[in-house]
Amino acid sequence: MFNYEKQFTKWSKTRKMGIYKFVLMYGLLVAGSIYFISSLLLSYFLGSINNNTIPHYLFDAVAWAILTGIGIWFVMEWNYKNHLSEKDERGRKTTMGKRLILVLILIELIAIQLVDSLIYGLLDIWLFILALIIQLLFFMFIQKVEKVKDFIVHIVLLVSIPALFIYILPSTTYEGGKAIVQNETDDEVTFLSTDYKLVPTAGKSEWFIKKYNYHYEVEGSGEKLFYMVDPATGKSYQLEEDFFRYYR
């Protein structure tokens, strides 16, 4: 069973370092490192590493680490200051409910990052991260409020954000695009490994989706061919020549 007394005793010592040192140590150094390393490992196992992977995840890790450090600080401070009032049964149930909501917010963030890795960073996930930040701020607010309607609003936000995320997802993943390319070709083709998995496009911009298409290099009938697939519509296009010929 979780020992809350031990947790708050430990926090009474940790909080003495102040918010800035806490965010630097537990946010940037701990949470940031975990986020960065886990994102790289996830991309590696999913085969989604490309030239922009490290800068992209490094920027995300710093931003997420700062927000995480600040969020944990305020949540722990409010829990610590309300510790005496949470000793009764009702207080413990309320606290457990709030912790559950916080865990669900973190799960949402991890799920968004996982899906974004599968489609090679095509989503403007900062819009969703901003929504999660607003949700986290609201979560901090209800730490002091015990009204049922506030929890109902929070649950609505908790459901609506992933629902919107699922709604705007591209029609296909990078791996799904391979099947589309295969169906467009008359002969059997072999997909070649490439670091250039995305190609910029000047086409119509979609909501929450960056202006990139999936890029494929295939070999068939003794020649090397290049294709791109629109992730929003699932349409494939054959390129006349290697788009990245000047970068190799």
In CATH, what number is assigned to the domain containing residue 181? 3.10.450
In a domain, 43, yes or no: yes
Among left, alpha and beta (phi > 0; psi -120 to 50; other), residue 47 is left
Query: pLDDT confidence of 13, banded at 50, 70, 90?
Result: confident
- Provide the pLDDT for residue 1: 45
Q: What is the pLDDT of residues 69-111, one digit of tens each?
A: 887 887 777 777 776 555 544 555 555 556 666 677 777 777 7
142 and 78 belong to one structural domain: yes
Residue 57 above 50 pLDDT? Answer: yes
Average pLDDT over residues 200-206: 69
Q: Per the structure, how many domains does the chain have?
A: 2
* Residue 21 forms part of a structural domain: yes
Q: Which of residues 3 and 180 earns the better pLDDT score?
A: 180
**Cβ neighbours for 192, distance < 8 A, ≥ 6 positions apart:** 217, 218, 219, 224
Task: Determine the residue type at 204.
Answer: K
Name the residue range of residue 29's domain.
4-167
Same domain, 179 and 135: no
Distance CA 2, CA 83 (A): 15
